[in-house]
Structure 1
Amino acid sequence: MIKALRTPDTRFDSLSDYPFQPNYVEDLKGYEGLRGHYVDDGDPNSEEVFLLLHGEPSWSYLYRKMIPIFGNAGARVIAPDWLGFGKSDKPVDDEVYTFHFHRNYMLALIEHLDLKNITLVVQDWGGVLGLTLPIEMKDRFKRLLIMNTGLMMGPVNSPAFDAWKADIVSDPDVPIPFIMQKNEPVISDIEAAAYEAPYPDQSYKAGVRKFPLLIATSMDAPGVDVSQRAAKFWSTEWTGESFMAIGMRDKMLGPDVMNVMRTVIKGCPDPLEIPEGGHFVQESGGELIAQKALEHFGLAQV
């Protein structure tokens, strides 16, 4: 049994702009004893499913501006919290968190909820992990909305990532509000505090601390092989529609990386550029991105 902490519900009582009812899944195979949280909004019977995957050190709160727009278009919207984040349980041992611990959890959740006709919405680690999911269940995915992320196809050599990593690993009590506002200045103090809400103290932050350490430093690092397979899938097998948005002020996963990803994703159109957008582009451009993506996919309400 994996030892884990559960954030008290009272920590989420006064969140700004997060009215969504919690949904939980417990005892997924391989994750017995752990409770995972997800938002399930919109039309529960819709044939269109939007799966919104957050990254580091955020949680499903990051998608609060986009969830209602997708829901109002008639879709079912699922926004999970990775284990270690948000309202999901938080294993206390840093070593629990691996690339495949996270990836296999999301595969199991998709199967448990039997999600089909998925529009995959990804950013940051939501994409590093999420972009590898379709190769295991190709018939479940229909569209892609990609923002400020990439595939871990080999060792990462980036001064911007090194600075990001230093901000997280230099303090066991990771300064989450500082990191959020540094990388997306539009975030208010109240919103920044909401990103800290899942973590009463540093013992809850093992998952947050570990994500930067999972980035590959060698070709045989966990996740590289499956990421290379995923790149081949997106380049040669993907037949769905895609939409890309870029926070242009992001020095880590901004225009340079995203333009490479555009060449990887078969049929990816010109991106929607958010000039004022940083790394957490959902904050600065979430509503616009969601609406433009729906229009591109032919799903916008007239």
Structure 2
Amino acid sequence: MKVLRTPDEAFSAIADFPFAPHFAEVRDPASGTSLRIHYIDEGPRDAPAVLMMHGEPTWCYLYRHMIGPVVAAGYRVLAPDLVGFGKSDKPAEKSDYSYAAHVRWMRQWLEGLGLRDITLACQDWGSLIGLRLVAAMPERFRAVALSNGGLPEGGPAPRAFAIWRAFSKYSPLFPIGKIIAKGTKRPLSPEEIAAYDAPFPDARYKAGARIFPSFVPFEGNPAVPDQKEAWKVLDQWDKPFLCAFSDGDPITRTGETRFIGRVPGTAGQAHRTLTGGHFIQEDDPQGFVAAILDVAAKGGQS
């Protein structure tokens, strides 16, 4: 496996990300290759953990407006970069990636840090991977706050997603910063767009970002059986599970209906609608923080 690592200087111009980097190694079992995962780790080490998981094609910079307020509320916040994104290592070939591999890599990372008493805060692919971690290790999690994401287990892809999947696969250009800007209601500044572009100095670094949409397990995808197994756990999950989807995301619209009433832990929660587009962390970070703190507090009572 050939692995690329974005040079540190690519991130040197980012002005609004005042968090110390942390790194951990995981091993890809198929190739034996070591992969470095970057993560933010803020707040007291003995405090309950909030795990903020990003999706496609972002990195933990997405949570920069949310980390501080959650730490100030008394939590330890961890925000990793998925393999292929941010400051984490980037396997160079699309064939190096799979949905199952991402779950294995992040499980190794989480277990290596010995994390427990975790509230998962997730969106987009952060939910597809994060909820699989919850299902694999339910004893390590106390609560879930889900926004603009899901855990598909087959069925047809929504039209908006099918268009995005085809674009990611066939478009000769893949301008990541501009793609993210199209997924927000708030206009991103040139500096913010550049920060989202920073992990990808050239096209060689984008294999993971390019292939991710093809892994979403709609009908015919080989990951569907694994999803159904994960749902067997979520169908019994009675710890707090709160949905906070946005009012302006064409890709995940009505996605909360797949959880509320099905996952036992959704009962009695203050589910809410946030204001913004797909990348709600940019549009309504305060609303997402409030949802996280609400469900994390309830998780501490269970």
TM-score by length of 2: 0.91
Deviation at 1:242, TM superposition (A): 2.0
- Cα distance in 2 between the residues matched to 1:142 and 1:227: 21
Change in CA separation of 1:27 and 1:160 when aligned onto 2, cut-off 3 Å: closer
> Is the partner of 1:212 in helix, strand or coil?
helix
2:69–2:289 CA contact under 8 A, matched in 1: yes
Match of 1:249 in 2: 248
1:16–1:191 CA contact under 8 A, matched in 2: no
1:231–1:264 CA contact under 8 A, matched in 2: no
- Cα distance in 2 between the residues matched to 1:149 and 1:90: 23
Instruction: Give the unaligned 5+ runs of structure 2.
Output: none
CA RMSD in angstroms, aligned pairs only:
1.8
Query: Counterpart of 2:133 in structure 1: which amino acid?
Result: L
Query: Counterpart of 1:213 in structure 2: which amino acid?
Result: S
2:242–2:271 CA contact under 8 A, matched in 1: yes
2:144–2:295 CA contact under 8 A, matched in 1: no
Alignment of 1:89-168 (within 5 A): 89-168=89-168
String of CA shifts for 1:42-74, please: whole Å, max 9, x gaps.
11222x011111100001011111111111112
String of CA shifts for 1:16-63, please: whole Å, max 9, x gaps.
4211111111244636332111111111222x0111111000010111
Instruction: Give the unaligned 5+ runs of structure 1.
Output: none
- Cα distance in 1 between the residues matched to 2:18 and 2:87: 14
Which deviates further from its counterpart, 53-62 or 162-171?
162-171
> Is the partner of 1:40 in helix, strand or coil?
strand
Change in CA separation of 1:29 and 1:167 when aligned onto 2, cut-off 3 Å: closer
Match of 2:212 in 1: 211
String of CA shifts for 1:256-298, please: whole Å, max 9, x gaps.
12222223322313422123x1111111111222134314543
Match of 1:284 in 2: 283
Match of 2:263 in 1: 265
2:135–2:233 CA contact under 8 A, matched in 1: yes
- Cα distance in 2 between the residues matched to 1:139 and 1:216: 25
1:148–1:246 CA contact under 8 A, matched in 2: yes
Match of 2:80 in 1: 80
Match of 1:61 in 2: 61
> Is the partner of 1:287 in helix, strand or coil?
helix
Percent of matched pairs sharing the same residue: 37
Number of residues paired by the alignment? 293
> Is the partner of 2:259 in helix, strand or coil?
helix
- Cα distance in 1 between the residues matched to 2:265 and 2:138: 17
1:16–1:194 CA contact under 8 A, matched in 2: no
- Cα distance in 1 between the residues matched to 2:28 and 2:149: 29
2:82–2:102 CA contact under 8 A, matched in 1: yes
Change in CA separation of 1:154 and 1:296 when aligned onto 2, cut-off 3 Å: closer
Query: Counterpart of 1:247 in structure 2: which amino acid?
Result: S
Which deviates further from its counterpart, 261-270 or 244-253?
261-270
TM-score by length of 1: 0.91
Change in CA separation of 1:114 and 1:23 when aligned onto 2, cut-off 3 Å: same
2:142–2:296 CA contact under 8 A, matched in 1: no
